[in-house]
Amino acid sequence: MNTVLEIRDLCKTYIVNKRQNNVLRNVSFSVNDGEMTGVMGPSGSGKSTLLYTVSGMDKMTAGDVFFNGKNLSGMHENELAKMRLEDMGFIFQQMYMMKNLSVLDNIILPAVKSSKKKESNKAIEQRGRELMKRLGIAEIAENDINEVSGGQLQRACICRSIINDPKIIFRCG
């Protein structure tokens, strides 16, 4: 099996009021292609910190994170952003959507912005509509995000997370 994500001795420390808070200490695990991994723990145990660190949204204090064989610690911020856009999908507890875009436009935005885009905007839109149909929300494509239910918005976030056919999907919350 192909290893998609490998974490070795990951540490994340925050300094608050001159006091060290070691949130992650020597965390190691891997995720293979097609595998589903869950991280559980009480509130404040570092689950979100782990997600943000292994996806390159937050800097690690020590250790290594390899995504598709590339070490995130040596990547520049714009390389990390491109990798998150094109190869990772995210479903957050807070449903971050652009208020000035329709539900469909929010879903297809990552595909339109991707530098590996090989299809027309019309084809991307069609793919977005097909994802919405598969998740049972096709009828809200043109709605503003404040005109739909929380459940519909969550399914739209799922559509958006898979629009670029990511190698891994992170679900937080």
Q: Are residues 163 and 118 in the same domain?
A: yes
Question: Are 71 and 120 within one domain?
Answer: no
Range with the lowest mean pLDDT among 83-87, 118-122, 126-130?
A: 118-122
Same domain, 23 and 67: yes
Say yes or no: 10 and 68 in one domain. Answer: yes
User: How many structural domains compose the chain?
Assistant: 2
Residue-level pLDDT at 74: 87
**Which residue range forms the structural domain that includes residue 134?**
103-171
User: Is 65 in the same domain as 112?
Assistant: no
Q: Are residues 61 and 122 in the same domain?
A: no
Please check the confidence at residue 117 and state whether its pLDDT lies above 90: no
pLDDT band of 92, cuts 50, 70, 90? confident
Q: Mean pLDDT, to the nearest integer, of 169-173? A: 84
Residue 96: inside a domain, yes or no?
no
In a domain, 127, yes or no: yes
3-state SS class at 138: helix
Instruction: Indicate left, alpha or beta for 23 from its phi (over 0: left) and psi (-120 to 50: alpha).
Output: alpha
Residue 96 has pLDDT above 90, yes or no: no
Q: Which of 58, 75, 92 is the last residue of a domain?
A: 75
Task: Return the CATH number at 58.
Answer: 3.40.50.300
Query: What pLDDT does residue 137 have?
Result: 98
* % of the chain beyond a pLDDT of 90: 82
Contact between 1 and 21 (Cβ < 8 Å): no
Asked if residue 83 belongs to a domain, the reply is no
> Residue 127: how many CA atoms within 13 Å on its side-chain side?
21
Same domain, 8 and 71: yes
- In angstroms, the Cα distances linking 132 to 46, 126, 139 are 33, 10, 8
- Residue 89 is assigned to a structural domain of this protein: no
- Contact 157/132 with Cβ under 8 angstroms? no
pLDDT of residue 119: 87
**Spatial distance between the Cα atoms of 146 and 89, rounded to a whole number of angstroms:** 23
Residues 63, 25: contact at Cβ < 8 Å?
no
**Mean pLDDT lowest among 4-8, 43-47, 130-134, 154-158:** 43-47
Distance, in Å, from the CA atom of 132 to the CA atom of 155, rounded to the nearest integer, reads 8
Grade residue 148 by pLDDT with cuts at 50, 70 and 90: very high
Quickly list DSSP for 43-95. Answer: TTSSHHHHHHHHTTSS--SEEEEEETTEEGGG--HHHHHHHHHHHEEEE-SS-
- The residue with tokens 């992170």 is 170
Judge whether 36 lies within some domain: yes
Mean pLDDT of 109-118: 87
Q: What is residue 24's predicted lDDT score, i.e. its pLDDT?
A: 95
Q: Within a domain: residue 92?
A: no
For the chain, the average pLDDT equals 93
Say if 91 falls within a structural domain. Answer: no
Look-up of token digits 């420390």: 13
Average pLDDT over residues 149-167: 95
Judge whether 88 lies within some domain.
Answer: no
What is the per-residue pLDDT for 118? 80
Average pLDDT over residues 134-158: 96
Q: Are residues 7 and 71 in the same domain?
A: yes
